[in-house]
Structure 1
Amino acid sequence: MATILQVLPALESGGVERGTLEMARAIQDAGERSLVMSGGGSMAPSLEAEGSQHFTWPVGKKSLRSLRLVRPLRNFIREQEVDLVHVRSRVPAWIVWRALQGMPRTERPALVTTFHGFYSPGRYSSIMTRGDRVIAVSTSISAYIQKHFPACPTERIRVIHRGVDPSEFPYGHKPGDDWIEGFFQTLPAHARDRALITLPGRITRWKGQLDFVKVMDSLIKRNLHVHGLVVGGTERRRQRYEAEVRQEIQERGLESHISWLGQRSDLREIMAMSFAVLSLSREPEAFGRVSLEALSLGRPVIAYDHGGVGEQMAALFGEGTIPPCRPELAADRISDWLKGSAPRPAHLRGFTLDEMQGQTLDVYRELL
Structure 2
Amino acid sequence: MNNLGSEHNTPLPASERHHPTVLQILPSLNGGGVERGTIEMASALKEKGWVPIVVSSGGVMEQELKRMGVRHITLPVASKNPWIMRRNVGRLAQIVTEFDVDIIHARSRAPAWSAYATARKTRKHFVTTFHAAYTRGGLLKNYYNSVMLKGEKVIAISEFIAAHILENYNIDPGKIVTIPRGVDCRKFNPAAINAERVIKIARDWSLPDDIPVVMLPGRLTRLKGHTTFIEALARLEHRNFLALMVGSTEGREAYTAELNSLIQQRGLEGKVQIKGHCDDMAGALMLSDVVVSATTVPEGFGRIAVEAQAMGRPVIATAHGGSMETIIDGETGWLVPVGDIDAMSAALAAALDMPVEAREAVAVQAREHVMSKYAIEKMCASTIGVYESLLADSD
Q: Would you say same fold, with TM above 0.5?
A: yes
Relative contact order (C-alpha < 8 Å, sep 6+): which is higher? 1
The partner residue of 1:154 within 173, 178, 186 is 173
Higher mean alpha-carbon deviation, 167-176 vs 24-33, is at 167-176
- Matched residue SS, 1:336: helix
The partner residue of 1:239 within 253, 272, 275 is 253
Report the counterpart of residue 74 of structure 1 in structure 2: 93
The yes-or-no answer on 1:228 pairing with 2:246 is: no
- Matched residue SS, 1:162: coil
The yes-or-no answer on 1:21 pairing with 2:52 is: no
Q: Which amino acid aligns with 1:74?
A: A
Report the counterpart of residue 384 of structure 2 in structure 1: 361
Task: Label 1:76 to 1:173 Cα distance change in 2 as closer, same or farther (>3 A).
Answer: closer
Task: Label 1:78 to 1:251 Cα distance change in 2 as closer, same or farther (>3 A).
Answer: same
Report the counterpart of residue 200 of structure 1 in structure 2: 217
Matches within 5 A, 1:135-284: 135-150=155-170, 152-171=171-190, 175-177=194-196, 179-180=198-199, 183-184=202-203, 186-187=205-206, 191-219=208-236, 221=237, 223-236=238-251, 238-284=252-298
Report the counterpart of residue 52 of structure 2 in structure 1: 34
Does structure 1 conserve the Cα–Cα contact (< 8 Å) formed by 2:104 and 2:119? no
Q: Which amino acid aligns with 1:228?
A: A
Deviation at 1:356, TM superposition (A): 0.5
Write out per-residue CA displacement over residues 277-304 of structure 1, whole angstroms, 9 at most, x where no aligned residue.
1111011111111111110000111111
Report the counterpart of residue 134 of structure 2 in structure 1: 119
The 1-side partners of 2:128 and 2:72 are apart by 19
TM (norm. structure 1) is 0.91
Write out per-residue CA displacement over residues 37-57 of structure 1, whole angstroms, 9 at most, x where no aligned residue.
111222223213312222222
The 1-side partners of 2:126 and 2:299 are apart by 25
Aligned residues: 358
Matches within 5 A, 1:87-126: 87-103=106-122, 108-121=123-136, 122-126=142-146
The 2-side partners of 1:163 and 1:84 are apart by 21
Deviation at 1:157, TM superposition (A): 0.5
Deviation at 1:74, TM superposition (A): 2.1
The 2-side partners of 1:273 and 1:265 are apart by 14
The 2-side partners of 1:174 and 1:102 are apart by 48
Does structure 1 conserve the Cα–Cα contact (< 8 Å) formed by 2:131 and 2:156? yes
The 2-side partners of 1:141 and 1:156 are apart by 14
Write out per-residue CA displacement over residues 90-111 of structure 1, whole angstroms, 9 at most, x where no aligned residue.
11111111223334xxxx1111
The 2-side partners of 1:173 and 1:31 are apart by 27
Write out per-residue CA displacement over residues 65-84 of structure 1, whole angstroms, 9 at most, x where no aligned residue.
22122233223322322111
Q: Which amino acid aligns with 2:76?
A: P
Higher mean alpha-carbon deviation, 16-25 vs 67-76, is at 67-76
The 2-side partners of 1:12 and 1:59 are apart by 14
- Matched residue SS, 1:65: helix
Report the counterpart of residue 61 of structure 2 in structure 1: 43
Task: Label 1:319 to 1:90 Cα distance change in 2 as closer, same or farther (>3 A).
Answer: closer
TM (norm. structure 2) is 0.85
Q: Which runs of 5+ in 2 are unaligned?
A: 1-18, 137-141
Higher mean alpha-carbon deviation, 169-178 vs 238-247, is at 169-178
Higher mean alpha-carbon deviation, 248-257 vs 338-347, is at 338-347
Task: Label 1:323 to 1:200 Cα distance change in 2 as closer, same or farther (>3 A).
Answer: same
What RMSD over aligned residues (CA atoms) do the two structures have, in Å? Answer: 2.0
The 1-side partners of 2:193 and 2:233 are apart by 25
Q: Which runs of 5+ in 1 are unaligned?
A: none
Does structure 2 conserve the Cα–Cα contact (< 8 Å) formed by 1:172 and 1:272? no
Task: Label 1:70 to 1:311 Cα distance change in 2 as closer, same or farther (>3 A).
Answer: same
The yes-or-no answer on 1:53 pairing with 2:71 is: yes
Identity %: 35
Write out per-residue CA displacement over residues 8-63 of structure 1, whole angstroms, 9 at most, x where no aligned residue.
12222221111111111111122211111111222223213312222222122111
Write out per-residue CA displacement over residues 179-231 of structure 1, whole angstroms, 9 at most, x where no aligned residue.
4266157336xx42321111111111110110111121111x1x111111111
